[in-house]
Structure 1
Amino acid sequence: MRCAIALLFVVSGSLVRAADDGFTPLFNGKDLTGWTTYLRPSKDIPNPDPKTTWQVADGVIRCNGKPNGYVMTEKEYSNYVLKVKWRYPAELKAGNTGVLLHCTGEDKVWPSSIEAQLRSGRAGDIWLNPGADGKLPTLSFDAGLKDANDKTDRHYFRIDKDKPVEKAFGEWNEYEITCRDGSITLAINGTKVIEGRNGSLKKGKIALQSEGTEVHFKDIAIKEMK
């Protein structure tokens, strides 16, 4: 009986803490309810099956990275704090994915959005993805962040780009993404890595990329703000 009471207390306590911090899960740990999927068709696979790319088990979304595409929230969000944990399998030597923010327009690779990069070694960079009209979203950054080799005005390095902020492959990392009134701030494992202000995109859906390599996601939660 005492064990049962203790277990109830622990469960109840975690529920109270979850409610107190104001975050709402976007992923239920069981399936992709609340999300839609898109995978880029090809000549070999004109109708790719999302179930071969995305699987859910033990509270984790597992993506094998092929073909390119994403899972996307059914709802749109504007002002919020988003938390996402990710890891690459320990046996990999490189990984690539990202979190797409303020997604709008047609499904394609990639939709009009602002990408919070998760490529290994470059997590915390920002990429701007153009819409159907070819126009890039805009963000204002501090001097020195732009990729000097990128002539498209799309890629912005994180602060202290050569300072490691990611954990070893096989270990879980946490993104904390704050979007408010067109501004976006990214923090990785508790360290602020970049901030963009006065963005032209202020509302849209949230997506997790499938982009060539296996990656796992869990503990996806959002706290909306006014």
Structure 2
Amino acid sequence: MKFFPFWLMIQTAFVFSPVKAQELPLFNGKDLTGWHADVPERDENPDIGPSFIVRDGMLVSLGRPLGHLISDRVYQNYRITSEYRFPGETGNCGILVHASTPRSLYDMFPKSIEVQMMHENAGDFWCIVEDIKVDNMVERRGPKEDWGITEGKNRRILNLTDGSENPPGEWNRMIIECFEDKIKVWINGDLVNEGYQSTATRGQIAIQAEGAEVEFRELNLEQISGLSENPE
């Protein structure tokens, strides 16, 4: 039998032991502690109803008034796991990562990279005064001369798959992984988008109210130390 020095065994165990992700609170299931809403319509009508509520332990985007629920904290190198559904008519919503300056686009959207949740388009990237690259950019974003990150430019980058979403009314599981300048997105276990050279690598998290009611029964964030092949 071959023996190894004790110090070498300890060193080897240290090098090859997996690093556990650090879980951080994002939504506590009770109230909107840790978040603040930015709803432009409220500037003129402060008595307007809420865009975001907590109902039956779920975070709910009511869809209107239009706006964003923004985390108070800034995050870097993180993984968001969400389970969401459209309880009624499907429509538009999104999770924005690396969010910063509010109302940077159309006096509404914070500077960020949006991960689309609109039914049948979940996983698309939308560039909001930030940018990101993907493979097959022309095929997925259109003619290069139309690309841009501000009003009137082609800011949408199509996802990689069709059919990854569950039927309307059913729950979907979306995982967004942001590490250094890369962003990866899974829908129900399928890798649906992967970008790199993001112009932002840290920022707040934002949830949209963009016309349709969306329920989130899970919304967790983990601090990570590297990219995953499949985090599930």
Is TM more than 0.5 here? yes
Gaps spanning 5+ residues in structure 1: where? 1-19, 131-136
Q: What is the TM-score with the length of structure 1 in the denominator?
A: 0.79
More off after superposition, 69-78 vs 163-172: 163-172
| Residues 180-215 of structure 1, C-alpha deviations (whole Å, 9 max, x = no match) | 111100000111001000111111000000001111
TM-aligned CA deviation for residue 96 of structure 1:
0.6
Q: Contact 1:40 / 1:48 at 8 angstroms: preserved in 2? A: no
**2:131 pairs with 111, 131, 138, which one?**
138
- Counterpart of 2:160? 159
- Counterpart of 1:9? none
Matches of 1:49 and 1:59 in 2, distance apart? 25
| Residues 51-77 of structure 1, C-alpha deviations (whole Å, 9 max, x = no match) | 532221221112221111011110001
Compared CA separation, residues 21 and 111, structure 1 to 2 (3 A): closer
- Counterpart of 2:60? 62
Compared CA separation, residues 56 and 191, structure 1 to 2 (3 A): same
Q: Contact 2:80 / 2:221 at 8 angstroms: preserved in 1? A: yes
Compared CA separation, residues 172 and 200, structure 1 to 2 (3 A): same
TM-aligned CA deviation for residue 174 of structure 1:
1.1
Residue type matched to 1:88 in 2?
Answer: F
SS at match of 1:41: helix
Compared CA separation, residues 168 and 147, structure 1 to 2 (3 A): farther
Residue type matched to 2:67 in 1?
Answer: G
Q: Contact 2:51 / 2:67 at 8 angstroms: preserved in 1? A: no
Matches of 2:73 and 2:208 in 1, distance apart? 17
SS at match of 2:95: strand
TM-aligned CA deviation for residue 156 of structure 1:
0.4
Compared CA separation, residues 109 and 126, structure 1 to 2 (3 A): same
Residue type matched to 1:39 in 2?
Answer: V
Matches of 1:79 and 1:21 in 2, distance apart? 10
Q: How does 1:1-226 map to 2 (within 5 A)?
A: 22-41=22-41, 46-48=44-46, 52-89=50-87, 91-92=88-89, 94-107=90-103, 108-130=107-129, 137-143=130-136, 144-147=139-142, 151=146, 152-160=153-161, 163-226=162-225
Compared CA separation, residues 50 and 225, structure 1 to 2 (3 A): farther
Gaps spanning 5+ residues in structure 2: where? 1-19, 147-152, 226-232
Residue type matched to 1:35 in 2?
Answer: W
Rg (Cα) greater in structure: 2
SS at match of 2:50: helix
| Residues 122-142 of structure 1, C-alpha deviations (whole Å, 9 max, x = no match) | 001000012xxxxxx221111
TM-aligned CA deviation for residue 50 of structure 1:
7.3
Q: Contact 1:38 / 1:71 at 8 angstroms: preserved in 2? A: yes
Q: Contact 1:117 / 1:123 at 8 angstroms: preserved in 2? A: yes
SS at match of 1:145: helix
Compared CA separation, residues 105 and 55, structure 1 to 2 (3 A): same
SS at match of 1:167: coil
Q: What is the TM-score with the length of structure 2 in the denominator?
A: 0.77
Matches of 2:46 and 2:196 in 1, distance apart? 37
TM-aligned CA deviation for residue 147 of structure 1:
4.4
| Residues 161-194 of structure 1, C-alpha deviations (whole Å, 9 max, x = no match) | xx21111222111110010111100000111001
Q: Contact 1:39 / 1:50 at 8 angstroms: preserved in 2? A: no
